[in-house]
Amino acid sequence: MKTSFMLEYPWWFLLFCIATGILFAYILYGRKKFVFSENEHKWWRYGLAFLRFLSTSLIAFLLLSLLIKTKRTEEEKPIILLLQDNSSSLNVSFGNFSKEKYAQQLQTLQEKIKDKYELVSYNFGDALTDFKSPAYTEKETDISNAIDEVFTRHGSQNIGALILASDGIFNKGNSPLYNRNALSIPFYTIALGDTSIKKDALIKSVRYPEIVYLGDQFTINVQIEANHLQGQSTVLEITAPDGKVILNKVISITEDRFTFQTDAVGDALKPGVLQYRIKLKTLAGETITENNYDIAYVEVIDGRQKVLMLYDAPHPDVKAFRNAIEQNKNYQFEEADIKNYNGNYKEDDLIILHGLPSNGAAAKINLISEIIASGTPLFFVLSANTNLAQYNSLQQILQVTGSSLNGNDVYPIYNPAFSKFTLSETADKTIQTLPPLLAPFGKYLIATTLDIFYKQKIGSVPTGNPLIAFNEVNGKKTGIICGEGIWRWRLTEFAQTKKFDATDEIINKCIQYLTVKGDKRRFRVHTPKNVFNANEAIQIDAELYNESYELVNDVDANCVVKGDNGKEYAYTFDKTINAYTLNAGVLPVGNYTINAKATYKGKANAATSNFSVRPVIIETLNTQANHQLLNIISTQSGGKSYTPATMSGIADDIEKNATIKSILYDTFSTRPLIDMKWLFFIILLLLISEWFIRKYNGNI
């Protein structure tokens, strides 16, 4: 520590302090020949004068605001980061080096590093955790994320080196080779695991659609792999949820490194999450059996919406709507000329009326009137064929007084106040470059409940007339496109971009809004997804509504989660701002039902939901250690790779590395001299001493 002094005034001001002390001492004692008596020794007077001189000079000196500047030099030792792979691939295949001996050597290495450096250790698998003796139980490995996370936590500190103990196998995230070592620190890797290919037959991958619709068929693709089992035969079996075997195939292994794939067809016969069990017969000599099993979780949805489009004459717009809507498997599209239509429109979830009512469909005016009066959502497309007088008489949402035959070319102007749904910025910009629609000419009178999506622009003149708008009254939704020519949008967009994205997005957003059905339940419970991995925490959310359908949570809500094994888990929801949530933690593999309850204003409310937990076996699909990856990481960073047998040399190599060194920090602090309490006590002691001497000798 180094100390220096700073003075706000010139140093020669100290002479004034000394002169002040001399002056006060002279005034009190300089003119007096004696202080106490004629017989006193002269040194009494000199001593008291000196005490007064010191106290007065020090007080005057403090008035100069002297500052004390202190410099402290601190040493920050390098931090050595240790990342220990805790994934289950090492539990399956650790190599010839025993886990117990490795654990001892790892502890010895940590103690050796701690003597000279600051050591911070972590475990990693799916995520980074504080270090514990590795149990090798993590179901996934993300090396890249672990490295990024330690750099985020310690990037501002003096990181000297990173020790990575792993088998080099990662099955989640990016390759660690792409990690940007912004700190340019050396990586010292410990190559764990076994690089040899073991005798094993395994289910390499299972591909299937996660969501299908009720009544559909779907394909489950299974790829198997066999190593060092040439000449043997295995059996691949796939079992449906009802116990029916949908595939039983004998597979002859004809090569030392053998791969094979096949398909099985499943039926979506009931809604919910269906489990298809895949099993590969275990052969003699296999070293790993955990990878001979897998489960395909297929969610069957009974939610396909039926969209009916009626028209009075063939029109290119009809095909444009069909092509856009059929891209979404949520919709089943049907079109028909209303003059020939004899179906049951009540089975449909949305009816699109193109150019209807019209003079050409006058014979079907009763059917059109019945459709408009029904509770089925409607989507009007006004065209040159539309009979505006009949259209105005059948609804009160938008009245158009004028002519549909002599229309205007209108361009869309987005209404930023529209709130029914959002449109991507790219789609909106693209729509502005497309040809105009042909809209009826006349005066537009709109209901106060109409929400305008796009307004009309005639040439360069914007108007308040709606081009695309929506209305909802008493739960019934209605959409209106005041113009024909959507097909031109689609055709021109493809010519410009080779895609139909913008036009299709607008059509499908409109269809989606009109077909979404309101949920009138007062109490609801749900999970963010229907299938969780076995290493994921289960989150359950709930909402409670009062009679005005406002969210409330001023009462407690509880739930019981019951597994298909009969075991039950009881929870109480935590309250959020105005809803409920809970973290149920990690649950065993299986199917679960949530039964939630909440009593509000004396009325019991109940809700149910379902989810499944599937096993994570990805760590057993590849157990061949990738030591080459670890060597590349070490070489590129200026470090070195070790085996468990040679890992004791890491501490010595770190000590020899000249780039790993302590950092010295200089810390400066400044404080006024007047803050020094000891100086106050010195002045006080001088004054008290002077007073005491005079008091003792009877001179006060």
Share of the chain above pLDDT 90, in %: 50
Inside any domain, residue 665: no
Inside any domain, residue 425: yes
Inside any domain, residue 663: no
- What pLDDT sits at residue 661? 86
Q: Above 90 in pLDDT, residue 188?
A: yes
Q: Above 80 in pLDDT, residue 488?
A: yes
What three-state secondary structure class fits 665? strand
- What pLDDT sits at residue 221? 93
Q: Give the residue-averaged pLDDT of 408-412.
A: 93
DSSP 194: B
- What pLDDT sits at residue 684? 81
Shared domain check, 32 and 93: no
Residue at which a domain ends, from 465, 490, 515: 515
State residue 149 phi and psi, 5-degree precision: -65, -45
- What pLDDT sits at residue 501? 92
Shared domain check, 339 and 253: no
Share of the chain above pLDDT 70, in %: 95
Using 50, 70 and 90 to split pLDDT, how confident is the model at 7? low
187 φψ region: left (φ > 0), alpha (ψ -120 to 50), beta (else): beta
Inside any domain, residue 594: yes
Q: Give the residue-averaged pLDDT of 379-396.
A: 93
Shared domain check, 569 and 475: no
Q: Above 80 in pLDDT, residue 12?
A: no
- End-to-end CA separation in angstroms for the chain: 46
User: What pLDDT, in 10s, does the model give residues 321-330?
Assistant: 999 998 887 7
Inside any domain, residue 495: yes
- What pLDDT sits at residue 1? 62
Inside any domain, residue 662: no
- What pLDDT sits at residue 672? 73
Paired with 162 in beta bridges are 81, 187
Q: Above 70 in pLDDT, residue 167?
A: yes
Shared domain check, 429 and 288: no
Q: Above 90 in pLDDT, residue 236?
A: yes
Shared domain check, 342 and 241: no
Q: Above 60 in pLDDT, residue 700?
A: no
Shared domain check, 184 and 255: no
User: What pLDDT, in 10s, does the model give residues 614-625?
Assistant: 888 777 777 788
Q: What's the CATH code of the domain at 637?
A: 3.40.50.410
Say how far apart CA 627 and CA 193 lie, in whole Å: 9
- For residue 437, which of 466, 457, 403, 410 has the smallest C-alpha distance? 410
The more confident residue out of 180 and 596 is 596
- What pLDDT sits at residue 316? 95
Out of 89-103, 381-395, 447-461, least confident range: 89-103
**Tokens at residue 295, please?**
């489960």
- What pLDDT sits at residue 424? 86
Inside any domain, residue 664: no
Inside any domain, residue 666: no
Shared domain check, 314 and 443: yes
Q: Give the residue-averaged pLDDT of 78-82.
A: 93
Shared domain check, 438 and 333: yes
Q: Give the residue-averaged pLDDT of 388-412.
A: 90
User: What pLDDT, in 10s, does the model give residues 105-149?
Assistant: 999 999 999 988 999 999 999 889 999 989 898 888 999 999 999
Q: Above 90 in pLDDT, residue 44?
A: no
With the C-alpha atoms ordered 619, 620, 625, 629, is the resulting torsion angle positive or negative? Answer: negative
510 Cβ contact list (under 8 Å, min separation 6): 379, 453, 468, 470, 479
Shared domain check, 376 and 481: yes
Shared domain check, 205 and 151: no
Using 50, 70 and 90 to split pLDDT, how confident is the model at 557? very high
Q: Give the residue-averaged pLDDT of 230-251.
A: 93
Q: Which of 10-24, 517-531, 598-612 has the highest mean pLDDT?
A: 598-612
Residue at which a domain ends, from 483, 515, 547: 515
Q: What's the CATH code of the domain at 280?
A: 2.60.40.10
Say how far apart CA 503 and CA 434 lie, in whole Å: 10
Shared domain check, 285 and 177: no
**Tokens at residue 540, please?**
């359950």
Give me the number of domains the chain comprises. Answer: 5
- What pLDDT sits at residue 523? 94
Shared domain check, 601 and 681: no
Say how far apart CA 363 and CA 42 lie, in whole Å: 139
- What pLDDT sits at residue 272? 81
Residue at which a domain ends, from 549, 581, 614: 614
Q: Give the residue-averaged pLDDT of 11-24.
A: 79
Q: Above 70 in pLDDT, residue 698?
A: no
Using 50, 70 and 90 to split pLDDT, how confident is the model at 199? confident
Q: Give the residue-averaged pLDDT of 400-418.
A: 88
* pLDDT mean across residues, the chain: 87
State residue 511 phi and psi, 5-degree precision: -65, -40
Say how far apart CA 362 and CA 390 lie, in whole Å: 10
For residues 145 and 104, the answer to whether their CB atoms sit within 8 Å is no
- What pLDDT sits at residue 36? 62
Q: Give the residue-averaged pLDDT of 204-223.
A: 86
User: What pLDDT, in 10s, does the model give residues 672-683?
Assistant: 777 777 777 887
Using 50, 70 and 90 to split pLDDT, how confident is the model at 40? low
CA 205 from centroid of its chain's CA atoms? 27
What three-state secondary structure class fits 487? helix
Range of the domain at 61: 2-72+671-696
Say how far apart CA 266 and CA 297 lie, in whole Å: 12
